[in-house]
Amino acid sequence: MPHDLIAPGTVWLVGAGPGDPDLLTRKAERLIAAADVVFYDALVGPGVLDLIPAGVERVGVGKRSGRHSKDQGTIDDLIVAAALAGRRVVRLKGGDPSIFGRSTEEVDACAAHGIPVHICPGITAASAAAASGSISLTMRGLARSLTFVTAHARAGEPLDLDWAALARRDTTLAVYMGRAAAGDVARNLIGAGLAPDTPVMVAVNVSLPTERLIRGRLDALSFLVRAVGANDPTLLLIGAAMGAAEPASAMPARTVERAALRASAL
């Protein structure tokens, strides 16, 4: 029986991947089917939510930049209360729970109440975007390392990142939640020594039918994101490996846009 996978009073933090339900792990799908209640983020794809069985309670606790339907403390309390009531709890998180997913807070909240908690990993947006773009995030001779950062900062605060470390020419930089800060990211990286013509790819709605991959160069990054809607999840991929993609003719037409224009000002 599906319920056997989750003991009553247990919490699973489950990676929902980038949105396409076909990119869920088999374990994630089984856990969703075994739940009594599912708490889900705003970035969980609609196709993934369709896998929740009828009769299972769904609770949206979505958070997006600048708009939180529930603060983290409230989410923690809801999860804990459901588990203490003996329910089988699945907490669905976009991508991988351990990559900018604030999983530590939820694990700690459960542990403080003696609640068993487990994590099921998921495919993160950078991996899915690379697959859609037929690129490799690491590449011999071009990208010896891969760095994940988030461009999300509190309102009015500058991005507090080590730009000198991020501007290495032999790395691929994946900037999550990067649309609003694209201009600042470009300015700071160029100021730290990264070449203005470094290839970039802006990945929007990764893995969904509305996916867009916009290619260009670092000094045009603020221009490239102007075509991106304010509510569209956006990932910035920056580095020499982005320029080694397959020809556009080998990729689905809906996913590729090229920008030959250079922004006059960042």
Catalytic residues: 41, 63
Helices 72-84 & 103-112, crossing angle to 10 degrees? 40
Cα–Cα distance measured from residue 130 to residue 167, given in angstroms and rounded to the nearest whole number: 20
Cα–Cα distance measured from residue 163 to residue 189, given in angstroms and rounded to the nearest whole number: 6
The residue type of 182 is A
Cα–Cα distance measured from residue 28 to residue 26, given in angstroms and rounded to the nearest whole number: 5
Partners of residue 152 on adjacent β-strands? none
Number of Cβ within 10 Å of residue 116's Cβ equals 13
CB of 205 within 8 A of CB of 193?
no
CB-based burial label for 148 (10 Å; 0-12, 13-18, 19+): middle
